[in-house]
Amino acid sequence: MIYNIDFETLPREALEAIQLKRLQSTLERVYATVPFYQETFKAAGVTPADIKSLDDLAKIPFTTKQDLRDNYPYGMFAVPMDNVVRIHASSGTTGQPTVVGYTKRDIGTWSELMARSLAAGGATRGDIIHNAYGYGLFTGGLGVHYGAERLGASIIPVSGGNTKRQIVIMKDFGPTILTATPSYTLHLAEVAKEMGVDFKDLNFKFGIFGAEPWSEDMRQEIERTLGIDAVDIYGLSEVMGPGVAIECHEAKNGLHIFEDHFIPEIIDPVTGETLPYGETGELVFTSITKEAFPIIRYRTRDITSLEPAPCICGRSHVRMKRVSGRSDDMLIIRGVNVFPSQIESVLMKRDNVAPHYQLVVDRVDNLDTLTVKVEVGESLFSDEVKRLQEIEKGLSNDIKEYLGVSAKVKLVEPKGIERSQGKAVRVIDNRKV
Ligand SMILES: [Zn+2]
């Protein structure tokens, strides 16, 4: 089902006309109200009046996470606080948190885009949504919540944690759609199994997973274990929260970006040059309808590419490929670029290892070493040591062959890797650079 058929199927020309008008008005507003933007535009020798086409957007400077930190907490807000009705903040796991705000109209826009997303992921008014994204400063929980209510579906605001209770609720309340991070979903499946509950006996039809990069193989693992169709959702608090882009369950092949609200670009992360459709680089977003926290050419650090071809679902909005990693998560091991998601893909090609893994990077005698810790199933772990060593060697060879990097693989006992209640910690980098 397409929630907003008029806007989600707009022909390209009409869509671009709307984008230009909204972009120009956003630029004028931020120039007048946010000192940061006025200063950076002036330094680049550009004013909003210079932007006469969508291509002119490339004249505007980028905004980075550091810029948001420098203006902590409210320096990037474009409206007075009495117009702000909601404040969220990023987790701050990699530094000072960034703070974002919403007007009443922003919450309305976000709710609509999340309603569109849930519908694209298979939800209808008749569905019951089990929402295991965390409620709080993180945008995941409340984003899904407001979208579900806008759509008219029933929402169970279960949030993250209390995993055993979640399984009981799944059995008793009969939810048909699961929303969670992919890593927490696998944890839920594990706990369910321990409790003697088979996910396939529950009522779930669809799952909408995101907030961390996950691979195509992980999707297949989740679909097989849960007996559902799984789609990928994308968003980040700096741009809005979840619902910036969503995969349609019909194609499950790339995420439609809601282009009537956001303008995406792909740039070369090193030179900053804009790249054409189809090329892989860093995703950059400009919001064109937000009031409290407009964001101009924000460098997401997420690595992907854009696909403009028409989609079988009927939506006309461009699709971004599943995020393959973050440019700041990218590990450089002895000169080779490695993303955790690439390691994940290699591991999941083998059916005797569990989907829980962690990368540990060390520097020994000025040489980088990569250790991949990966869990094996119960039955395998009780096998003889020789068999385990064979598997370790096999995985190590696979990683060398596919990614061109030497890694030591260490199999660990079931549950040997700590479970996250939200986003998984995939990399431990012990190097002091
Ligand atoms: Zn589609």
Highest mean pLDDT range out of 61-65, 350-354, 398-402, 411-415?
61-65
Pairing of strands 229-236, 241-247: antiparallel
Residues 356, 400 contacting (CB under 8 angstroms): no
* Interval between CA 285 and ligand 1 midpoint (Å): 20
Residues 261, 221 contacting (CB under 8 angstroms): no
Between these two residues, 415 and 112, which has the higher pLDDT value? 112
pLDDT-above-70 percentage for the chain: 97
- pLDDT score for 183: 86
pLDDT digits (tens, 9 = 90+) for 70-87: 999 999 999 999 999 999
* Interval between CA 60 and ligand 1 midpoint (Å): 31
pLDDT digits (tens, 9 = 90+) for 23-41: 999 999 999 999 999 999 9
* Interval between CA 107 and ligand 1 midpoint (Å): 25
- pLDDT score for 386: 87
pLDDT digits (tens, 9 = 90+) for 360-384: 988 877 778 899 999 887 777 777 8
* Interval between CA 54 and ligand 1 midpoint (Å): 24
Q: Which two tokens stand for residue 44?
A: 């680049």
Taking CA atoms, 327 is separated from 86, 233, 270, 342, 346, in Å, by 30, 19, 10, 13, 20
* Interval between CA 390 and ligand 1 midpoint (Å): 43
Task: Say yes or no to pLDDT of 354 above 80.
Answer: no
Least confident of 110-114, 259-263, 411-415, 427-431: 427-431
**For the chain, what is the HEC assignment?**
CCCCHHHHCCCHHHHHHHHHHHHHHHHHHHHHHCHHHHHHHHHCCCCHHHCCCHHHHHHCCCECHHHHHHCCCCCCCCCCHHHEEEEEECCCCCCCCCEEEEEHHHHHHHHHHHHHHHHHCCCCCCCEEEECCCCCCCHHHHHHHHHHHHHCCEEECCCCCCHHHHHHHHHHHCCCEEEECHHHHHHHHHHHHHCCCCHHHCCCCEEEEECCCCCHHHHHHHHHHHCCEEEEEEEECCCCEEEEEEECCCCCCCEEECCCCEEEEEECCCCCCEECCCCCEEEEEEECCCCCCCCCCEEEEEEECEECCCCCCCCCCCEECCCCEECCCCEEECCEEECHHHHHHHHHCCCCEEEEEEEEEEEECCEEEEEEEEEECHHHHCCCHHHHHHHHHHHHHHHHHHHCCCCEEEEECCCCCCCCCCCCCCEEECCCC
Between these two residues, 324 and 151, which has the higher pLDDT value? 151
* Interval between CA 223 and ligand 1 midpoint (Å): 19
* Interval between CA 4 and ligand 1 midpoint (Å): 14
Between these two residues, 428 and 365, which has the higher pLDDT value? 428
* Interval between CA 253 and ligand 1 midpoint (Å): 8
* Interval between CA 275 and ligand 1 midpoint (Å): 23
* Interval between CA 144 and ligand 1 midpoint (Å): 20
What is the pTM for the complete model shown? Answer: 0.83
* Interval between CA 249 and ligand 1 midpoint (Å): 7
* Interval between CA 120 and ligand 1 midpoint (Å): 8
* Interval between CA 171 and ligand 1 midpoint (Å): 31
* Interval between CA 316 and ligand 1 midpoint (Å): 8
* Interval between CA 372 and ligand 1 midpoint (Å): 36
Task: Say yes or no to pLDDT of 325 above 90.
Answer: no
* Interval between CA 19 and ligand 1 midpoint (Å): 20
* Interval between CA 432 and ligand 1 midpoint (Å): 44
* Interval between CA 117 and ligand 1 midpoint (Å): 11
* Interval between CA 257 and ligand 1 midpoint (Å): 10
* Interval between CA 318 and ligand 1 midpoint (Å): 9
Residues 79, 291 contacting (CB under 8 angstroms): yes
* Interval between CA 143 and ligand 1 midpoint (Å): 21
* Interval between CA 206 and ligand 1 midpoint (Å): 16
In angstroms, rounded to a whole number, what is the distance separating the alpha carbons of residues 163 and 188?
A: 6
Beginning with the edge strand found earlier in the chain, give each strand of the sheet holding 274-275 in spatial order: 274-275, 262-267, 281-287, 298-304, 325-326
* Interval between CA 140 and ligand 1 midpoint (Å): 22
